[in-house]
């Protein structure tokens, strides 16, 4: 086992695809990044500038989110992390009980950190913060659809108020007038806020230029809390510049396949595009799974002779009306869990058949596939589309490793499923 250099940034992400999004931004800014699935049991055994520990703590009870986050913190500290980054969603997904506030305060307490920032701004993805108000695209957060989110409805766009409701510590604002003036003004504002007893500041940012102006003022902050946007500005504090080498992965080889359990609009277009390009595609019928048919074995038998000639697609992706009908017959959770398990089993089987370049579509589906492949950590490579990088991971089903990309539902252009393999070649 080589002895790795001290980690520059240790990151804790509150969900799986969000972790990949953050890792992708750090790589683009010049860091070599590893993402782990949960808190590792063993020390890091590879060179990396940053590690992103992916938790699933966004909507679990606050005390459990705190316990998991502190566990991640201890592991990252043991790897020598010089700065900590707590990553949440760019729409600040949380309830009045948390978990952004409680986890932030627990991390501050554990680190002895007397001041931190909080900004979900991610201008590349049209999330901007102005005067403390969060915009999604052209509208305020509470008009963006997020007010109807089933788990974390966001009805107040004012992040100072939202975060204060979740925190014991006083929350303040570093507004755009200050950010626009750059590092010295931001540092002066932090000193003023501290003197006023403020411990956490929402920071405005409406562009990547704002994030880059903010970066130098964060160089000595033990803890940064943010969406993935701020990550573009931190590697420079460690003397790193964007370079292709940060995204270097082993050379790709082996067979190619796509599995999709996402029913989002973008994925439906991607499945259609793949089929229309004349490539082999097989639809999975959830009702046949429910009837006890061995859909996994059928799919693998179908794939076996085709896959030598080029990428195949196996999908449960369907239009909203079809999904509703299945959910009506099987129940929402039941249908979801059954399809996830089948697709994950197929992904494992495909890798056992020799697939070494695997595209997975769907956030929950990705979680299930990574679990079925027993992947514990992934090295993050180059971006295929915003927020979606190729990764390289070891799996007992592929002892020399495989290339895998995890596409959350609404990411990617219509030709993503073919473009991904071209990008890797």
Minimal distance, residue 409 CB to ligand ADP, in Å: 2
**CB contact at 8 A, 87 and 11:** yes
Residue 215 or 363: which CB sits closer to ligand ADP?
Answer: 363
Minimal distance, residue 59 CB to ligand ADP, in Å: 14
Residue 364 or 415: which CB sits closer to ligand ADP?
Answer: 364
Residue 158 or 327: which CB sits closer to ligand ADP?
Answer: 327
Residue 325 or 400: which CB sits closer to ligand ADP?
Answer: 325
**CB contact at 8 A, 361 and 263:** no
Residue 120 CB partners (closer than 8 Å, separation 6+): 88, 89, 90, 91, 92, 127, 129, 134, 159, 226, 227, 229
Q: Which residue is nearest to ligand ADP (CB)?
A: 409
CA gap 225, 317 in Å, rounded: 35
Minimal distance, residue 336 CB to ligand ADP, in Å: 3
Minimal distance, residue 262 CB to ligand ADP, in Å: 3
Which parts of this chain interact with ligand ADP (CB under 6 A)?
Answer: 261-264, 267, 286, 316, 318, 323, 326-327, 335-336, 339-340, 362-365, 408-409
Residue 101 or 286: which CB sits closer to ligand ADP?
Answer: 286
Minimal distance, residue 149 CB to ligand ADP, in Å: 13
Report the DSSP beta bridge partners of residue 259.
314, 360
Considering just the CA atoms, what is the radius of gyration of the chain in Å? 22
Residue 210 or 340: which CB sits closer to ligand ADP?
Answer: 340
Minimal distance, residue 269 CB to ligand ADP, in Å: 12
CA gap 3, 52 in Å, rounded: 19
Minimal distance, residue 317 CB to ligand ADP, in Å: 6
């Amino acid at each position: 086992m080589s002895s790795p250099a001290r980690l520059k940034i240790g990151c804790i992400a509150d969900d799986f695809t969000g972790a990949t999004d953050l890792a992708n931004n750090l790589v683009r800014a010049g860091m070599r990044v590893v993402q782990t699935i949960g808190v590792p049991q063993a020390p890091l055994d590879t060179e990396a500038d940053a590690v992103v520990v992916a938790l699933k703590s966004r909507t679990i009870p606050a005390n459990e989110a705190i316990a998991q986050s502190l566990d991640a913190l201890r592991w990252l500290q043991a790897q020598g992390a010089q700065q900590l980054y707590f990553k949440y969603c760019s729409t600040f997904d949380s309830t009045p009980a948390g978990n952004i506030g409680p986890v932030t305060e627990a991390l501050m307490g554990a680190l002895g950190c007397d001041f931190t920032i909080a900004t979900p701004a991610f201008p590349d993805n049209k999330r901007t913060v102005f005067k403390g108000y969060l915009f999604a695209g052209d509208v305020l957060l509470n008009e963006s659809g997020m007010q109807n989110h089933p788990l974390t409805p966001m009805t107040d766009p004012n992040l100072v108020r939202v975060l204060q409701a979740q925190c014991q510590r006083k929350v303040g604002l570093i507004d755009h007038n200050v950010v626009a003036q750059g590092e010295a003004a931001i540092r002066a504002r932090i000193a003023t806020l501290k003197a006023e007893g403020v411990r956490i500041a929402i920071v405005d940012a409406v562009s990547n230029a704002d994030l880059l102006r903010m970066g130098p003022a964060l160089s000595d902050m033990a803890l940064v809390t943010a969406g993935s946007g701020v990550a573009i500005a931190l590697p420079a504090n460690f003397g790193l510049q964007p370079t292709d080498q940060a995204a270097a992965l082993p050379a790709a080889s082996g067979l190619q396949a796509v599995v999709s359990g996402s029913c989002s609009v973008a994925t439906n277009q991607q499945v259609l595009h793949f089929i229309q390009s004349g490539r082999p595609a097989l639809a999975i019928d959830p009702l046949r799974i429910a009837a006890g048919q061995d859909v996994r074995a059928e799919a693998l038998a179908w794939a076996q002779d085709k896959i030598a000639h080029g990428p195949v697609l196996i999908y449960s992706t369907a239009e909203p009306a079809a999904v509703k009908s299945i959910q009506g017959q099987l129940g929402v959770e039941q249908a979801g869990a059954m399809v996830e398990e089948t697709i994950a089993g197929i992904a494992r089987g495909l890798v056992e058949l020799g697939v070494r370049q695997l595209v997975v579509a769907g956030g929950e589906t990705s979680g299930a596939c990574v679990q079925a492949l027993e992947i514990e950590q992934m090295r993050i490579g180059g971006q295929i589309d915003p927020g979606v990088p190729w990764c390289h991971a070891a799996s007992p089903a592929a002892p020399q490793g495989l290339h895998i990309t995890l596409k959350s539902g609404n990411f990617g252009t219509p030709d993503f499923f073919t473009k991904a393999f071209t990008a890797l070649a």
